[in-house]
Amino acid sequence: MTDEQKTTGTPGSEHWSTISRRGWVKALISIPVLGVFFYNYFRKRAADEAKRQAVMSELGVAESGPAIIANAVSQPPSRRIRVGIIGYGGEGESLVRHAGFAAPDWIEQARKNVAENPRDKQLETYLGQDDLNIALTAVCDVFDVRAERAIAASRIDVRPGGGGANPPAKRYRRYTDLLESGDVDAVIIATPDHWHSRMTVDAANAGIHVYCEKCMTRTEDEAHAVHRAVKDTGIVFQLGHQNRQSEAHNKAREVIAANILGPITLVESTTNRNSPWGAWVWDIHEQGNPQTIDWDQFEGPAPNKVPFSLERFFRWRCWFDYGTGLSGDLLSHEYDGVNQILQLGIPASCVASGGIYYFKDGRDVPDTFQAVYEYPDRDLTFVYSATLANGRDRGLVFMGHDASMQVGGSLSVQADYESTRYEQKIKDGLIDPSQAMFTYRPGFKGIDAVTSATERYFASRGLLYTYRGGRRMSAYHLLIAEWLDVIRNGGETSCNVDRGFEEAITCHMATRSYREHRRVTWDPATRRIV
Amino acid sequence: MHGTAKPYTGLQLGALVTLRLLIGWHFFYEGLAKLVNPYWTSAEYIDQASWLFSGVFKSIAASPGAVTFVDALNVWGLMAIGLGLIVGLLTRAATASGLVVLLLYYIVAPPFVALAYAMPTEGSYLVVNKVLIEAAAMFVLLVFPTGRLVGLDGLVFRKRQAGDAPAPAQA
């Protein structure tokens, strides 16, 4: 400062001219550094941009911006729809909640959770749902405790979109009474799989719209019956595959449409869970007993009648009498996701194998299960590989000659080292096969809390929630909203009965192959598994 | 600032200003790179907090509103601090803020024994990492200021002093 003091003019003078040349130099000497900075910065920007443009123009797909998804509720919900629930177990409760009716004890627990862990978003997501303008008017469950909970949910006053409380739903002991009551326009069917077909057919014949949980049916014959009934009656049918609403899945369709991967020869899908809950060892309710559970009605169309069993009632997925194990529960999701992205349809053949290797608890469905499907007309193999005793995340991968695409909650595309299409760009250093050349991360910028291992599994598959305009939305809610929208305004549900038929047949091919220890094929002429 | 005598030798001043410019460059580019990256968010970094105030950090990461705010603060803060250090404007404030920012980064994810992080690091660190070293360098700049010797502060503060009070104003 001494230099400046020497040259400072009269006290009070504010003239810049009084500053010495040396003073100016010292004040401004670092400014050129900014010039160097920006010179380098813009060079880098230009290089990066040229690289990106070269890749993007080649790919023909937008890097950012949401995949084009029709808004699930395209028009204001005008007409109030009366909905019945058949089967208010874990999944049924979840669906009803995502339709806007949470059970009071769920609300209480969610409040506690959020008080303990501010990252817990369950309550916020529930309250942030759109009010779908429906009333839950009818309930059918063979277990008294669950039926009462469903009724309590139907009159809940903590509702999304500030919707007020409704009158309580009426309980029906038999689903046929519910369908004939005149109290419902539409039903959600979330019973074990062995009931899906009969209930859907009866509902369709009564002109009642159906949202049915996967797997669409337990057997091949039932799949035909459901398909026929829905087609004949023209009811609106939605199968419960939430992936249909996932942003990443819809973006994956764009990537496929742009043929970024080149010829796809192998699609690998997987399930990896490692907890009793994930292996369907669900809680046995303390109040469950022959007095509170209508066992005869639970068994219904099950092929083998057995004495009352709490295990079979509460953990029904472990037996072929009520479902198809991994096939109908999780292969169905994986297949539908792949079918959504590739429009594969029914495979030509299937070989499946596996066994009960870890959960030797009396179940008869395998806990380790692999199915290999051939699509000769598409020149590709679809592989499903699952274990319920290891949690390693193997994801869902589409393997093309030019690139691989991994799809889950997000999406990434990685060029192949030996790609023909990208050969020059790889040589030129424009594409680096060791890194994703294209990633798509839907969602708001932030971290979501998922609480259980099974939830994490579903979240990683985009089955729990997805995003619309950066807002976290339940994929269940969006799928139900779409179903209601089609009931009101016409159109086509994203997982309609044709997709459901493909899903059911594909799963049943694996089940048949596993149980009959042989390769099965699909005869498109007779539309039968042979 | 440091009496009437020259506070530093030419070499000392050169070393300090070089350090200031390098850190400024780093800060400015960190901010700018985040600004132009639509996918960047501080959420993942904040979310790995596992030491002091980790509860606060984690709840910030879980709140979209808070994350947006923290992201903007990071981007513009880093750029402002970087620019301040490069051109030597409000250097003292920039240095102090930079020190606070770096210490916050450090507190979120200190490489302590028994703390593990999901995000990979590019080197091997035990207690001391590059963030801590940059913070220490920033502390040096705070203790040995150079903004008024080399930088716009020389003009700004000189001008004010020239206008406010008779010379000798420097102290």
Question: What are the pLDDT digits (tens) for B26-68?
Answer: 999 999 998 987 767 887 788 788 888 888 888 887 777 788 8
Query: What are B54's two structure tokens?
Result: 């980790």
| CATH class as words, domain A81-243 | alpha beta
Q: What pLDDT does A14 receive?
A: 55
Q: Do A81-243 and A244-468+492-529 fold alike per CATH? A: no
Convert A198-235 to b/e letters by CB count within 10 Å (16 or more is b). Answer: bbbbbbbebebbbbbbbbbbbbbebbbbbbebbeebeb
Substitution target in B17, B22, B63 with the highest count of A β-carbons within 10 Å is B63
Q: What pLDDT does B165 receive?
A: 43
Q: What pLDDT does A10 receive?
A: 46
**What would the CATH number be for the domain defined by A244-468+492-529?**
3.30.360.10
Give chain B positions within 8 Å (CB) of A28: 152
How close, in Å, is residue B106 to chain A by CA atoms? 20
User: Rounded to the nearest 5°, which phi and psi values hold at A464?
Assistant: -95, -50
Helices and strands: H and E segment counts in chain A:
19, 18
> What's the pTM value of the predicted model, to 2 decimals?
0.80
CA–CA distance, B5 with B155 (Å, rounded to integer): 19
- Nearest by CB to residue B38, choosing from A9, A31, A64, is A64
Mean pLDDT by 10 residues, chain A (530 residues): 43 64 88 94 88 74 53 57 96 96 95 84 86 94 97 94 87 97 97 98 98 98 98 98 87 88 97 95 97 97 97 98 97 96 97 98 98 98 98 93 90 92 88 83 52 60 63 83 91 95 98 98 98
For B52: left if phi > 0, alpha if psi spans -120 to 50, otherwise beta; the answer is: beta
Q: What pLDDT does A84 receive?
A: 98
Q: What pLDDT does A208 receive?
A: 98
A18 contacts B151? CB cut-off 8 A: no
Q: What pLDDT does A182 receive?
A: 95
- Nearest by CB to residue B62, choosing from A16, A28, A446, is A446
B6 contacts A29? CB cut-off 8 A: no
B162 contacts A13? CB cut-off 8 A: yes
Question: Which of B137, B135, B23 has the alpha carbon at shortest distance from B86?
Answer: B23
Chain B: residue whose CA lies nearest to A445: B41
CA–CA distance, A214 with A500 (Å, rounded to integer): 8
Tens of pLDDT, residue by residue over A264-288, are 999 999 999 999 999 999 999 999 9
The CA–CA distances, whole Å, from A57 to A61, A258, A303, A419 equal 8, 11, 57, 17
CA–CA distance, B75 with B28 (Å, rounded to integer): 9
Q: What pLDDT does A66 receive?
A: 46
Query: Does pLDDT of B164 surpass 70?
Result: no
E strand residue ranges, A181-252: 186-189, 209-212, 237-239
Check if B44 contacts A (Cβ < 8 Å): yes
Give chain A positions within 8 Å (CB) of B62: 118-119, 121, 446-449
Domain boundaries, chain A: 81-243, 244-468+492-529
Tens of pLDDT, residue by residue over B88-136, are 999 999 999 999 999 999 998 888 887 777 666 778 888 999 999 999 9
Check if B60 contacts A (Cβ < 8 Å): no
